[in-house]
Amino acid sequence: MVQVVLTFDPSLGHMFHNFPLLSFLPCAPVRYVPPPVYRYLSKPDVRADEYGRAVLAPYGIRKVEACLRLRSRLRAEVIHPNHLDRHIRGDTKIIAVNTMDPLGIGPLSLMFNNCGREKSWVRHEFETLMHWIGVLKRERCPGAKVVVGGAGEWEFEIMPEMIEALGIDYVVQGEMDDIIHLLFEGIVEGSIDNTIFLHGYRSTVFDSKGRASIMYVKDPKGHFITRHPFSRFKLPKIEDIPTIVGAAISGQVEIMRGCGLDCDFCEVTTRPLRYYPPEKVLEEVKVNLRAGIKNAWFITDNQWAYMLRDPNYWPNKEAIVNLYRTVMSYDGVTHANPMHATLAPVAADPELPMLISKIVGAGPGKHIGVQIGLETGSDKLVQTHMARKALPFRVGVDATWAEIVVEAKMALNAAYWIPADTIILGMSGETDDDIWDTIGLINYMASQNLLFTVTPMALVSLGSLRGQNALTDVYANLTPAQAALIYISWRNTKRMAEILAWRLGSDTPLLKLLTGGLLVFGANFWLGALERYLKRLNPMTERAIEKAKTYTVIPSKGTDFRKLRQQMRELSLNRALRQGA
Ligand code: SF4
């Protein structure tokens, strides 16, 4: 008897032949990727055990499972989405679904589907799942409640009409892994504690200077649930967050929450910094190992902030190295890499990625992947929206942002790291000059044969998307320079697909050839179609794209990073001496 059936959006359970570039695929419109091609490229799926339970599951739903196991009398299991019919029964009380991009309007999907004008595969799969849950619920347990949560919950704030259309009772927001048992017990008993939970959601709003503040929006229909701002349960301390009890997809383990860099378009920065000690990280690594996952993928919004002590953001090298050593020295662990990081700390301390690579055993056949918010090539936009992202450097004083980026990329590639960058279009105050700085930076790095992907995103700020009544048309209002930047970004992805398609992935050589061939063909097809589409937008766009193809100019102060690092070290030493005196 399973009272709480926990499951997840099927698109989160695809392994995409372990080709990193293929994880974009669910963002693609259904109309342009035929089902047989999608099904083949998304394979294999995470396995189910003989009872239909997911052997691997998204980290978020594993945290919910852990909290319920530890603190609740409700019996919960994480069920594979393909086996729900075996567990949704007459005694099921709650069906909870973890999702990342349920309506296909995540920052990346909306670039592919132009803000939902096409239906992306990710939405198609979520809707199919919810429809199936609705059928099973109607037939077997009409009184059960359907709960949706995870990183994509905000999309229902944009399209609240989809909540009832998809048969959802509650959309749960925010960190809940210390109190989700109280919510689920309240739902089952029909009395949610209103001193702990608020029927509404927390929204981040940004003022004209980009300062973030939190606002709570009440939901008269009672679908949205968030932690009450005056709840006696404050945001959980690390010791209150339960350790996962079932294995997470790709060996995900959390190492910290928050970031602390205050980029003015980012919600993460409103979350307080908290760090998992290495021993707690290792506990979760062991859970994954028991399911045969030998990789540790560190969940973090910025790895270099791990155990941060220096206000100028020099990374805490000892703590970071200790974390990797602790994990990698455990018997059976073969790889570790972070989910997200920034660039400036690497330019400041290029030894850092190399140290990690040595611990991990990275090399020409074993790269370290990391997602990085590159955002722009423009000094002005960095100074306006994200000055602290460049710490310990001061953009425009010590070096240009482009110089910092290139210096960091060289250090990362030299240590066998391959960054997957994102850039933002449409930041407030952006001009065509800023866009050309970004085009120049991408092309310059490609001309130096640096290995990186770059994905353009419009309106990446979740906060700024919230509360809009009408979705933006991403492409209709592009300036010619913005269109050229989108083209250049995908041209670089095609370059990387051609380099990596034959190197990465875990198939047999024959299947690797097939998957790699499809990937290269798909990248070429997409770029050709995109170029034709963008050039049709207006004649100026055609000219901008042609100019962008060979534009490699980057803002430069001729910075000598070796000298700069030396000066900064001396300054910091003197400061320490003065403080000690
Ligand atoms: S560095 Fe990244 S996670 Fe941190 S505040 Fe900036 S955008 Fe957000």
Instruction: Report yes or no: 449 and 410 within 8 Å, Cβ to Cβ.
Output: no
φ/ψ region of 190 (left if φ > 0, alpha if ψ in -120 to 50, else beta) reads left
Q: Ligand 1 centroid vs 528 CA: distance in angstroms? A: 33
Q: Ligand 1 centroid vs 348 CA: distance in angstroms? A: 18
32 Cβ contact list (under 8 Å, min separation 6): 118
How far, CA to CA in Å, does 41 sit from each of 22, 24, 129?
8, 11, 20
Residue 506 pLDDT: 56
Q: Which atom of ligand 1 is nearest to the CA of 389?
A: 1
Q: Ligand 1 centroid vs 341 CA: distance in angstroms? A: 9
Residue 463 pLDDT: 41
Q: At what angle do helices 432-447 and 480-500 cross, to 10 degrees?
A: 20
Pocket test for ligand 1, best of 264, 389, 460 (most atoms within 8 A of CB): 389
φ/ψ (deg, to 5) at 437: -60, -40
Q: Ligand 1 centroid vs 266 CA: distance in angstroms? A: 6
Domain ranges for the chain: 4-227
φ/ψ region of 193 (left if φ > 0, alpha if ψ in -120 to 50, else beta) reads beta
Q: At what angle do helices 180-189 and 59-71 cross, to 10 degrees?
A: 70
- Rounded CA-CA distance 79/86 in Å is 9
For residue 386, give both structure tokens.
């994200």
Read off the pLDDT of residues 58-86 as tens digits, 9 standing for 90 and up: 999 999 999 999 999 999 999 999 999 99
For residue 295, give both structure tokens.
């990789």
The three-class DSSP label of residue 140 is: helix
- What average pLDDT does this structure show over 3-16? 96
Is the dihedral angle over the CA atoms 104, 106, 112, 118 positive or is it negative? positive
Q: Which atom of ligand 1 is nearest to the CA of 375?
A: 7
Share of the chain above pLDDT 70, in %: 92
The three-class DSSP label of residue 454 is: strand
Pocket test for ligand 1, best of 302, 372, 421, 464 (most atoms within 8 A of CB): 302
Mean pLDDT of the chain: 91
- Rounded CA-CA distance 520/497 in Å is 6
Residue 466 pLDDT more than 70? Answer: no
Instruction: Report yes or no: 511 and 17 within 8 Å, Cβ to Cβ.
Output: yes
- The two beta strands, 340-341 and 368-375, are parallel
Q: Which residues sit with their C-beta closer than 6 Å to ligand 1?
A: 259, 261, 263, 266, 268-269, 301-302, 342, 373, 386, 389
Residue 522 pLDDT: 79
Instruction: Band the pLDDT of 390: cuts 50, 70, 90.
Output: very high
Instruction: Report yes or no: 504 and 20 within 8 Å, Cβ to Cβ.
Output: yes
Residue 469 pLDDT: 43
DSSP-derived letter for residue 343 is S
Instruction: Band the pLDDT of 211: cuts 50, 70, 90.
Output: low
Residue 461 pLDDT: 43
Backbone Cα Rg of the chain: 24
φ/ψ (deg, to 5) at 5: -90, 115
Instruction: Report yes or no: 210 and 155 within 8 Å, Cβ to Cβ.
Output: no
Q: Which long-range contacts (CB under 8 A, 24 or more apart) does 468-474 make?
A: 468/158, 471/105, 471/110, 471/115, 471/116, 471/158, 472/115, 473/114, 473/115, 473/117, 474/110, 474/111, 474/114, 474/115
96 Cβ contact list (under 8 Å, min separation 6): 4, 5, 6, 7, 61, 64, 146, 147, 148, 149, 184
Instruction: Report yes or no: 185 and 72 within 8 Å, Cβ to Cβ.
Output: yes
Read off the pLDDT of residues 249-296 as tens digits, 9 standing for 90 and up: 999 999 999 998 888 888 777 788 999 999 999 999 999 999 999 999
Instruction: Report yes or no: 355 and 348 within 8 Å, Cβ to Cβ.
Output: no
φ/ψ (deg, to 5) at 549: -60, -30
Pocket test for ligand 1, best of 211, 263, 374, 462 (most atoms within 8 A of CB): 263
- Rounded CA-CA distance 288/515 in Å is 27
Q: Which of 20-24, 130-134, 196-200 has the lowest mean pLDDT?
A: 20-24
Q: Ligand 1 centroid vs 264 CA: distance in angstroms? A: 9
Is the dihedral angle over the CA atoms 196, 232, 60, 283 positive or is it negative? negative
- What average pLDDT does this structure show over 116-144? 95
Pocket test for ligand 1, best of 376, 386, 422, 423 (most atoms within 8 A of CB): 386
Please tell me the chain's helix, strand, coil percentages from 3-state DSSP, rounded to the nearest 5. Answer: 45, 15, 40
Q: Which atom of ligand 1 is nearest to the CA of 265?
A: 7
Pocket test for ligand 1, best of 204, 206, 266, 401 (most atoms within 8 A of CB): 266
Residue identified by tokens 């120049």 is 440
For residue 249, give both structure tokens.
């997809």
Read off the pLDDT of residues 360-385 as tens digits, 9 standing for 90 and up: 999 988 899 999 999 999 999 999 99
Tell me which residue has its CA closest to atom 8 in ligand 1. Answer: 266
- Rounded CA-CA distance 108/104 in Å is 9
Q: Ligand 1 centroid vs 386 CA: distance in angstroms? A: 8
- Rounded CA-CA distance 541/527 in Å is 15
Q: Which atom of ligand 1 is nearest to the CA of 262?
A: 5
Q: Ligand 1 centroid vs 352 CA: distance in angstroms? A: 20
Residue 513 pLDDT: 66
- What average pLDDT does this structure show over 179-192? 97
Residue 93 pLDDT more than 80? Answer: yes
Q: Ligand 1 centroid vs 511 CA: distance in angstroms? A: 38
Q: Which atom of ligand 1 is nearest to the CA of 342?
A: 1
For residue 530, give both structure tokens.
């995109």
Instruction: Report yes or no: 352 and 315 within 8 Å, Cβ to Cβ.
Output: yes
- What average pLDDT does this structure show over 227-248? 95
Residue 231 pLDDT more than 70? Answer: yes
Q: Ligand 1 centroid vs 456 CA: distance in angstroms? A: 16
Residue 580 pLDDT more than 80? Answer: no
Share of the chain above pLDDT 90, in %: 72
Q: Which atom of ligand 1 is nearest to the CA of 261?
A: 5
CA neighbours closer than 13 Å in the CB half-sphere of residue 277? 4
The three-class DSSP label of residue 308 is: coil
Q: Ligand 1 centroid vs 263 CA: distance in angstroms? A: 6
For residue 467, give both structure tokens.
């509360």
Tell me which residue has its CA closest to atom 6 in ligand 1. Answer: 263
Read off the pLDDT of residues 336-357 as tens digits, 9 standing for 90 and up: 999 999 999 999 999 999 999 9
For residue 122, give both structure tokens.
């990710």
